[in-house]
Chains A and B, each alone.
Chain A
Amino acid sequence: MENIIEIKDVEMHFNMCKEKIDNLKEYFIKIAKRQLMYEDFIALDKVNLEVQRGEVLGIIGYNGSGKSTILKVISGILKPTKGIVKVNGTIAPLIELGAGFDLDLTARENIYLNGSVLGFSKKMMQDCFDDIVEFSELKDFLDIPMKNYSSGMVARIGFAVATMVKTDILIVDEILSVGDFLFQQKCENRINNLMAGGTTVIIVSHTLDQIRRLCSKVLWLDKGKVKMLGDTNTVCDAYEGNLK
């Protein structure tokens, strides 16, 4: 099988100022006083990973182990400090908690905006539009600004938008553990459908049951390093053993 994602020796350093400086005045004062201190934090350390087309990869690990960071590196949102990231396909908008929308716009406008980001014309979008509306069950709220939505409603639209048009890769960050049970079921079904259609999926979740149910391969990250990579049950068992 062909590799759709290849990650070689990727390192992500956050070279940040100790204090957050966000204006010129402070910046020049600090330079003048020679107090501009940088701190090097390594969020990903020599990570290697290959994902084949159609695989479902789960990523597990404690908080702060670099799971969200690696998702952002794969989707191109973050550029790695070192190493090579090769992706051979289109990627859907990252699905994460507090999924980003322009909250001043209505849901309808956000849906079209997201579609055009993926390179879809208005005409192509019209076909998926009804599907999104039906999936999110928010027909009556389409034309009010999204700032009036609850977080659950935003999550629904987020998931519906990201999965509306068929992309090669879908990335889901911890969203499957929120929302009511019915919606979770619906999301899982949708992921299963996409998988059947050949979409490559990457899932971060703290719910190991879910990982076991959905994934064909699991990556365990620990403090930015690959602790284990391989068969779902082997890695999940080892992770559970470690928790005890």
Chain B
Amino acid sequence: MLEANFQTLKRYRYLLSNLIVKDIKLKYRRSILGILWSVLNPLLMMIVISAVFSNIFKFQVENFPLYYLTGSTLFNFMSESTNLAMMSILNSRELIKKIYIPKYIFPIEKCLFGFVNFLFSLIAVVVMFIVFGYPLHLTSLLFFIPAIYTLIFSMGLGMVLSALGVFFRDVIHLYSVVVVAWNYFTPIVYPYEILGEKMKMFMQINPMYYFVSYFRDVTMYNTVPGVKIDLICIAFSVGTLIFGLWFFKKTQDRFILYV
């Protein structure tokens, strides 16, 4: 089955790249400030959040603005990708009514587009490291590992959401609430250490907690998490992807009746 999927991906690679290029063009065509905005927005958030929280976590976090920026950049990558993926089938209704296309192309494409945006926003992160005079360790080069885990995880979740969105439109609103809650449930504006025992245990089922910690370990703390952490991350991301593929496959033949 995986081989067949791979074959179709090969056949549809032009479609995939064409869609990604189209998305990038559309995003940056909307306003001249497009690129600037996507860099400024996280930085503005960083300034505001830091102004409020820096002082509180003075003793736990060594450079709060960067702590926040690294966490939120990875989390936003996941939330943007899954949100776009969720709408992807509905938004391609005109195309899928007219010609047969393997439909999983659409959520996958949105996640890849999200990944490209994430790479753009990393530029802002690097600039901030330099501005704060924070050392850029060699381990930073491993940033792509947690990023790929997040990508695979987003693809799986995105496929589930895109299928659900077709059948139940209120899932779209529901998910936007879930993402906000999830954002607070992930140590982004606060350090993991301040959590109580119960919450710490609860945190173990949050894949974003692992991905974000991994990302900070390599970019800020010059550490490489052990193999155990990698295994947990792989279990979360690949597990979600397999579930997503299964769920999508089971429901995709009925999309056309509901889009």
| A contacts, CB < 8 Å to B | 14, 16, 22-25, 27, 72, 75-79, 91-94, 96, 99-105, 109, 112-122
Contacts and interface: CB of A to CB of B under 8 A. Distances in A.
B170 interface: yes
Contacts of A14: 257
Interface stretch (B8-16, B114-122, B192-200, B202-210): B8-16
A115 B258 CA distance: 26
A100 B170 contact: no
A100 B101 CA distance: 14
B100 A75 contact: yes
- The 6 closest A-B CB pairs, nearest first, are A76-B100, A100-B94, A23-B170, A116-B18, A116-B15, A93-B99
A146 to B, nearest CB: 10
10 contacts: A22-B258, A24-B168, A72-B256, A77-B96, A77-B98, A91-B100, A94-B98, A113-B15, A116-B18, A119-B15
B205 to A, nearest CB: 23
Interface SS of chain A? loop
Residue from B95, B171, B258 with most neighbouring chain A CB atoms (10 Å)? B95
A100 B97 contact: yes
Given A22-B167, A75-B99, A94-B98, A121 B256 contact: no
A24 B100 contact: no
A98 B178 CA distance: 37
B137 interface: no
Contact of A117 (B17, B95, B174): B95
A101 B97 CA distance: 10
A89 to B, nearest CB: 12
Given A16-B257, A24-B171, A78-B256, A93 B14 contact: no
A59 to B, nearest CB: 18
A185 to B, nearest CB: 24
Interface string B81-109: 00000000000111111111100000000
A156 to B, nearest CB: 16
Interface in B41-58: none
Contacts of A120: 14
Interface in B1-31: 11-12, 14-15, 17-19, 22, 26
B168 A79 contact: no
A91 B99 contact: yes
B18 A113 contact: yes
Given A16-B257, A76-B100, A102-B94, A27 B168 contact: yes
A41 to B, nearest CB: 11
Contacts of B19: 113, 116
Nearest to B253: A79
B98 A100 contact: yes
Contact of B101 (A101, A112, A117): A117
B96 A119 contact: no
A23 B256 CA distance: 17
Given A22-B168, A100-B98, A116-B15, 11 more contacts: A24-B174, A27-B168, A91-B100, A93-B99, A94-B99, A100-B97, A112-B18, A113-B95, A115-B14, A120-B14, A122-B18
A24 B170 contact: yes
A78 B97 CA distance: 9
A43 B219 CA distance: 59
A72 B22 CA distance: 27
Contacts of A115: 14
Nearest to B172: A23
Contact of A113 (B12, B22, B257): B22
Contacts of A105: 22
Residue from B15, B19, B96, B253 with most neighbouring chain A CB atoms (10 Å)? B15
A101 B94 contact: yes
Contact of B169 (A22, A103, A114): A22
A115 B257 CA distance: 25
Nearest to B164: A24
A122 B14 contact: yes
Contacts of A118: 99
Given A79-B253, A96-B98, A102-B95, A23 B168 contact: yes
A117 B96 CA distance: 10
A120 B258 CA distance: 29
A122 B19 CA distance: 12
Contacts of B169: 22-23
Contacts of B18: 112-113, 116, 122
